[in-house]
Amino acid sequence: MNIKLKIWRQPDAKSNGRFETYPLNDVSSDMSFLEMLDYLNNNLIKEGQQPVAFEHDCREGICGSCGMYISGRPHGPQHKTTTCELRMREFKDGDTITVEPWRASAFPVIKDLIVERSAFDKIMQSGGFISVNAGAAQDANSILVKKKNADEAFDSATCLGCGACVAACKNSSAMLFIAAKVTHLALFPQGQTEAELRVKTMVAKMDELGFGGCTNTRACEAECPKGISISNIAKLNREFFVAKLKE
């Protein structure tokens, strides 16, 4: 198939960027979106142009680094899919595909489609961990966890930290990400000792780093590649209120 790509090009964080249009012929519908970009980049390099910079690592939907806004949606048109797992068969011959970086002041563009997502790391460093000694593998089996809690914690733990929730939200809110982390850790006995401190510091960090507040539009949940539910946000709110009331 033949397509046209309209891609955001920005040489570095300080320069202004703009959209460039690249026609690309003989794209296989079996290619992943990233393979298609590799193919484009090979052509660009042959022509002596700068390749399009984009972030990627695992290319199997587990690392969360391949975020980009494709044809108006984070990670493209397919539901619950990362960009690396998106196939070109989701598009039609002759399509013009716009590719933009995540847009949020908390995620500044570094180059082309790559944004600085270290704000997420800072939030995690502020409280998204367990500092008690959780022991070795067999110790985990001696501390019983309700099946329901284990299942819910597992669902929340699938969050990749990709940032699609922030990119999709009209307020650039990071609530779904933080909610997934807080919920995941608060559901285990190992995580409960620090639960109250954790939720307070993580929310404070989120506010400090310039993410917006939640207005319950549900855009995050609709675009999350892991289908993290906003019921996590309700739990985050509960945890937050209880922690604050106990102060």
Residues binding ligand SF4 (CB under 6 A):
64, 159-165, 176-177, 180, 224-226, 228
Q: How far is the CB of 54 from another protein (least distance, A)?
A: 17
**Nearest to ligand SF4 of 121, 139 (CB atom):** 121
Residue 151's H or E segment, with its range, is: helix 147-157
Name which of residues 56 to 95 contact ligand FES (CB under 6 A): 56-59, 61-66, 82-84
**Nearest to another protein of 188, 211 (CB atom):** 211
Which partner, ligand SF4, another protein, ligand HEM, none, binds residue 113 by CB below 5 to 8 Å per kind?
none
Burial class (CB in 10 A: 0-12, 13-18, 19+), 6: middle
Q: How far is the CB of 166 from another protein (least distance, A)?
A: 9
Q: Is 245 in the site for another protein (CB under 8 A)?
A: yes
3-class SS of residue 195: helix
Structure tokens at 31: 């290619």
Q: Is 151 in the site for another protein (CB under 8 A)?
A: no
Q: How far is the CB of 103 from another protein (least distance, A)?
A: 5
Distance between CA atoms of 36 and 27, rounded to whole angstroms? 7
Q: Is 164 in the site for another protein (CB under 8 A)?
A: no
Looking at 96, 215, 234, 238, which residue binds ligand HEM (CB under 6 A)?
A: 215
Distance between CA atoms of 61 and 82, rounded to whole angstroms? 6
Residue showing tokens 């500092």: 131
* Strand duo 96-100 + 114-115: pairing: unpaired
Q: Is 219 in the site for another protein (CB under 8 A)?
A: yes
Beta bridge partners of 69: 74, 100
CB atoms within 10 A of CB 4: 13
Q: Is 234 in the site for another protein (CB under 8 A)?
A: yes
- For residue 162, give Cα distances in angstroms to 70, 175, 225, 231: 14, 13, 9, 19
* Inter-residue contact 53 to 41 (CB < 8 Å): no
**68: closest CA among 216, 211, 223, 175?**
223
Q: Is 105 in the site for another protein (CB under 8 A)?
A: yes
Residue 176's H or E segment, with its range, is: helix 175-186
**Nearest to ligand SF4 of 7, 224 (CB atom):** 224
**Nearest to ligand HEM of 131, 215 (CB atom):** 215
Which partner, ligand SF4, ligand FES, ligand HEM, none, binds residue 215 by CB below 5 to 8 Å per kind?
ligand HEM
Looking at 58, 216, 227, 244, which residue binds ligand HEM (CB under 6 A)?
A: 216
Which partner, another protein, ligand HEM, ligand SF4, none, binds residue 103 by CB below 5 to 8 Å per kind?
another protein
Distance between CA atoms of 60 and 145, rounded to whole angstroms? 30
Residue ranges binding ligand FES (CB under 6 A): 56-59, 61-66, 82-84
